[in-house]
């Protein structure tokens, strides 16, 4: 019998509903490095198929960490263009079965009509953003324009970097997850989410922020991600009006082009003591320069 969990109201980062699979498994392993192998225990990140179902219509199956699924469902729905606002998601229920998890949502009728018109079924691997795309024209959709915002100063970027690890509980245990965090204009981390997939972590963060702050979710701050800055990450940020994306790793050339089209600030190779600005939405303010 499937097990159902409301998951409404959100969960703290890394939290798992008692009826859902655990996000971390303890496994017996063999540790090599000496004359003979020795037994040991290892913490391994779980990866579960999560089906996203809208008014009974299955839209996508993503491989994800089984945490913060309400945030994930809302964030994915927004960045995929299924919903135009959080208020168009009326209800949500997580159903667990032997095969995986289903997030069953009830959405507004006009959203369902739009979904059916562009419906695609795909298995979304953690590193894949094009599964189910049928033509080159569909591969890179138009990117949304964002409202320009001040570029974060070095102090703000460094402050976010310095505290990101504190919000990466699953990564600390397993070494296998990505994080996405929303930082305010001074670099203080307001919210963070983790997942085995970098896109999923960003969707979870977007969903959590929208539930908590609505239209003010992405005002005066920036997104900090533990991954590279791929074009999908830029698209997702632009789709909800995020004006600045900061990545620990490298950007792709396409991500830089899309950031320019969106009018978004793109910062990458953010490391202790330095970062690289690949595009800025507008000149730095005096306040940001002296942060």
User: CA 265 to CA 287: how far, in whole Å?
Assistant: 17
Token pair 């997702």 is found at 236
Is 270 within any annotated ligand binding site? yes
Q: Residue 135 has what DSSP assignment?
A: S
User: CA 158 to CA 25: how far, in whole Å?
Assistant: 33
Is 122 within any annotated ligand binding site? no
Indicate the burial class of 41 (C-beta count within 10 angstroms; 0-12, 13-18, 19 or more): exposed
Is 228 within any annotated ligand binding site? no
Is 271 within any annotated ligand binding site? yes
User: CA 103 to CA 203: how far, in whole Å?
Assistant: 14
Is 183 a residue of the active site? Answer: no
Is 117 within any annotated ligand binding site? no
Is 274 within any annotated ligand binding site? yes
Residue 223 contacts by C-beta under 8 Å, 6 or more apart in sequence?
A: 180, 181, 182, 183, 202, 205, 237, 242, 244, 245, 246
Q: Which of 128, 131, 237, 244 is catalytic?
A: 128
The token pair that represents 106 in the structure block? 């009830």
Token pair 């927004």 is found at 78
Q: Are strands 89-96 and 265-271 parallel, antiparallel or unpaired?
A: unpaired
User: CA 195 to CA 168: how far, in whole Å?
Assistant: 10
Indicate the burial class of 173 (C-beta count within 10 angstroms; 0-12, 13-18, 19 or more): middle
Task: Give the largest CA-CA distance in the chain.
Answer: 66
Residues identified as active-site? 128
Binding site membership: which residues?
269-274
């Amino acid at each position: 019998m499937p097990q159902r969990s409301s998951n409404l109201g959100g969960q703290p980062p890394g939290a798992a509903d008692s009826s859902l699979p655990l996000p971390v498994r303890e496994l017996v392993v063999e540790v090599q490095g000496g004359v003979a192998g020795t037994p040991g225990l290892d913490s391994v990140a779980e990866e579960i198929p999560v089906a996203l179902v809208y008014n009974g219509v299955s839209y996508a199956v993503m491989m994800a960490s089984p945490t913060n699924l309400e945030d994930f469902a809302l964030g994915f729905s927004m960045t995929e263009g299924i919903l135009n606002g959080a208020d168009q998601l009326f209800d949500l229920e997580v159903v667990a079965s032997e095969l995986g998890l289903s997030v069953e949502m009830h959405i507004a009728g006009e959203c369902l009509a739009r979904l059916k018109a562009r419906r695609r079924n795909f298995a979304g691997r953690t590193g894949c953003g094009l599964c189910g795309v049928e033509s080159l024209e569909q591969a890179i959709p138009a990117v949304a324009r964002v409202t320009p915002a001040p570029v974060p100063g070095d102090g703000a970027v460094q402050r976010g970097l310095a505290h990101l690890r504190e919000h990466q509980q699953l990564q600390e245990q397993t070494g296998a997850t990505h994080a996405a965090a929303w930082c305010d204009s001074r670099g203080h981390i307001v919210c963070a989410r983790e997942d085995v997939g970098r896109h999923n972590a960003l969707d979870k963060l977007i969903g959590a922020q929208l539930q908590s702050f609505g239209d003010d979710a992405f005002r005066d701050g920036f997104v900090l991600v533990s991954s590279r800055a791929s074009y999908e990450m830029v698209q997702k940020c632009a789709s909800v009006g995020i004006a600045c994306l900061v990545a620990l790793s490298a950007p792709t050339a396409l991500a830089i082009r899309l950031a320019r089209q969106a009018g978004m600030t793109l910062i990458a190779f953010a490391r202790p003591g330095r970062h690289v600005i690949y595009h800025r939405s507008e000149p730095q303010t005096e306040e940001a320069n002296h942060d």
